[in-house]
Amino acid sequence: MLDVVIVGGGVSGLYAAYLLQQKGLKVQVIEGSARLGGRLQTIYTPEGHPVDLGGQWIAPQHTRLLNWIKVHRIPIHPTYTTGANLLITRNRRRRYHGSIPRLSALALLDLGWGLARLKRMARHVSPQSPWQISRPAWDEISLATWMRKQFYTKEARKTFAVGLSTVLGCEPEEVSLWHTLFYIQSAGSLEVLIQTQGGAQEMKFSQGAQTLVETLSSQVSWVIDEPVRRIIWERRRVQVYTTKHHYDARVVLLAIPPALTGHIGFEPPLPPSYSQLAQHMPMGSVTKVVALYDKPFWREEGLSGHILRLEGGVRVTFDTSPADGSYGQITGFGVGPNARSLLRLSPEERQAYYEAELHSLFGVRPQRLYYKVWAEEPLIGGCYAGYFTPGGWRYFGESMRRSLPPLYWCGTERSSTWAGYIEGAMAAAEQATEDLLQVI
Ligand SMILES: Cc1cc2nc3c(=O)[nH]c(=O)nc-3n(C[C@H](O)[C@H](O)[C@H](O)COP(=O)(O)OP(=O)(O)OC[C@H]3O[C@@H](n4cnc5c(N)ncnc54)[C@H](O)[C@@H]3O)c2cc1C
């Protein structure tokens, strides 16, 4: 019999397996899809250039991740930020520096006031116990409802919506205001979420995030292509059934997004606050687009490659070229109603749309263009992460963090720090393995 079966071969599951193996436990990771890594996925162009279709950036605050990177000598480099950023509105292109775009004086004041207020409000959320709602009204409304009351100018509201939807991975009308505040607090501040230098986009994996997945997976025992369908749980034993095999263990650690728990049959059934969590935490819906060019030509025009656009499908871009600038790479995010409506199109139509978008943004047709709609990954269901709709934290938040021995949970959504990020996936693994080691 195994000590621990871990369901899910993303960062959280693989890191938890590593930590438990270090303690001498017999652990098996079971991944349902044909590859490890989950929301980290690197593909390679015919020239051998890495393209990250999932997570790729590292913040200086990501201490667990940076420690792993250092120990395993994974190459990383700073994101290129020299030069001017661009704000593109319906009829103008304006250059700006820093993280706040150049809006009209009134809109700028409006935006600054709104951001300051959101920052102050976030201090009311405890990332350790966000289900303790000190301001109930904030958990009863969406972020969009708050924005409607907060912003006087359309320009400030639109700019805020593009920024926040790119950070959260969902639209303001979908997510609870309280969850937005939790997300900010779990990262430490709104600035670190938005900023490239000093924040969430500061560094990237030079050879792709796959290098992280490889260093994790080379140290643990795993299988792929075995979706877990059924778990029979008793006080001191679990039986985990995949489409191919069955595994006996003392405990099971589910390292999957909460929304995916609903795909597994539990016997006996989970208590309602656990089973319904899956219905109340949908996954975000962002399309990631990566364009490659023979050189980062925008740098010659004094541009950083960072664009904020208030209309269209691709609304935010970053320069993700290699450290030596030997070729150009732009990463963009498809958010907002246009990007959402594209989900109905065929892959070829979407490809043509995104090629045209990048062409219109940079004035040059990309040599290669890749995109990924994460909502189409059946065992992930969207990106970047799960989020709570109004009332979610109040009714299901505690169940999300509390184990149900012999069932334990991890995954980035369950972290109190950097939830939604690689760092959060590692922190949640640490927390779950500490809990589990107390009883096993
Ligand atoms: C486009 C995109 C951009 C991002 N950018 C960044 C970034 O720049 N920086 C950053 O820090 N984070 C970023 N993130 C978020 C980051 O990738 C995730 O937070 C992190 O990878 C989540 O890891 P996880 O192990 O918690 O979950 P996952 O990676 O989702 O792993 C869960 C695994 O469980 C498997 N699974 C699900 N159900 C079953 C089942 N029944 N049986 C067996 N296996 C199952 C899934 O296939 C998956 O492999 C991004 C994510 C995306 C998608």
Which pLDDT tens digit goes with each residue over 28-37?
999 999 999 9
CATH code (residue 176): 1.10.405.10
Tell the residue nearest (CA) to atom 1 of ligand 1: 54
Residues 343 and 263 in one domain: no
The Cα–Cα gap between 214 and 48 comes to 17
Burial 337-366 (b: 16+ CB within 10 A, else e): eebbebeeeeeeebeebbbebbeebbeeeb
pLDDT at 335: 83
Cross-strand bridge partners of residue 246: 241
353 CA to middle of ligand 1, Å? 26
Which DSSP string do the residues of 142-188 spell out, in sequence order? Answer: BHHHHHHHH--SHHHHHHHHHHHHHHHSS-TTTSBHHHHHHHHHHHS
Q: What distance in angstroms lies between residue 287's CA and the mean position of ligand 1's atoms?
A: 14
* Residue 66 located in a structural domain: no
What six digits make up the tokens of 353? Answer: 């749309």
Among 340, 360, 379, identify where a domain stops.
Answer: 379
What are the tens digits of pLDDT across the range 229-272? 999 999 889 999 999 999 999 999 999 999 999 999 999 999 99
Residue nearest to atom 41 of ligand 1 (CA): 228
Ligand 1 atom 48: residue of nearest CA: 38
- What span, in angstroms and rounded, lies between the C-alpha atoms of 437 and 160? 43
Strands 84-88 vs 314-319: parallel, antiparallel or unpaired: unpaired
Asked if 271 and 400 sit in the same domain, the reply is yes
How much is the pLDDT for 343?
85
89/202 same-domain check: yes
Residues 188 and 200 in one domain: no
- Domains in the chain, number: 3
Amino acid 122 reads: A
* Separation of CA 11 and ligand 1 centre (Å): 7
Separation of alpha carbons 129 and 346, rounded Å: 42
Tell me the CA–centroid distance for residue 283 and ligand 1, in Å. Answer: 11
Q: pLDDT tens per residue, the chain (440 residues)?
A: 999 999 999 999 999 999 999 999 999 999 999 999 999 999 999 999 999 999 999 999 999 999 999 999 999 999 999 999 999 998 889 999 988 898 999 999 999 999 999 999 999 999 999 999 999 999 999 999 999 999 999 999 999 999 999 999 999 999 999 999 999 999 999 999 999 999 999 999 999 999 999 999 999 999 999 999 999 999 889 999 999 999 999 999 999 999 999 999 999 999 999 999 999 999 999 999 999 999 999 999 999 999 999 988 999 999 999 999 999 999 999 887 877 888 889 999 999 999 999 999 999 999 999 999 999 999 999 999 999 999 999 999 999 999 999 999 999 999 999 999 999 999 999 999 999 999 88
- Is 31 a domain residue? yes
CATH number of the structural domain spanning residue 220: 3.50.50.60
Query: In this structure, which residue's CA is closest to atom 12 in ligand 1?
Result: 421
Residue nearest to atom 35 of ligand 1 (CA): 8
Instruction: Give Cβ neighbours of residue 22 (< 8 Å, ≥ 6 apart).
Output: none
184 with 291, same domain: the answer is: no
CA of 48 to the centre of ligand 1 (A): 24
Which residue shows structure tokens 């047709």?
A: 365
Domain final residue, candidates 354, 379, 404: 379
Distance 380 CA to ligand 1 centre (A): 7
CA distances from 167 to 103, 224, 315, 359, 429 (A): 20, 31, 12, 24, 23
Residue 68 lies in a domain: no
Give the domain CATH number at 304: 3.90.660.10
Q: Which pLDDT belongs to residue 342?
A: 85
**Considering 194, 227, 243, which residue would you say is the last residue of a domain?**
194
What letter would DSSP give residue 61? T
Residue ranges making up the domain that contains 314: 49-58+76-99+196-208+284-379
CA distance 319 to 331: 6
Residues 190 and 201 grouped into a single domain: no
According to the model, what pLDDT value does residue 234 have? 96
| Locus of tokens 């938040």 | 397
Please tell me what DSSP assigns to residue 301: G
**Are the C-beta atoms of residues 257 and 283 closer than 8 Å to each other?**
yes
Looking at this protein, which amino acid is placed at residue 408? Y
Tell whether 181 is covered by a domain. Answer: yes
The tokens describing 125, both together, are 């959320």
Q: To test the ligand 1 pocket, which listed residue (39, 210, 354, 415) has its Cβ within 8 A of the most ligand atoms?
A: 39
**Residues 304, 201 within the same domain:** yes
Q: Which residues line ligand 1 (CB under 6 A)?
A: 7-13, 30-33, 38-40, 54-57, 227-228, 255-257, 260, 263-264, 286, 288, 374, 379-380, 383-385, 411-412, 420-425
Look at ligand 1, atom 21, and give the residue with the nearest C-alpha: 39
Cα distance between residue 47 and residue 90, in whole Å: 36
For residue 374, being part of any structural domain is answered with: yes
Residues 343 and 373 in one domain: yes
Is the residue at 64 inside a domain?
no
Q: In this structure, is residue 67 part of a structural domain? A: no
Residues 292 and 203 reside in one and the same domain: yes
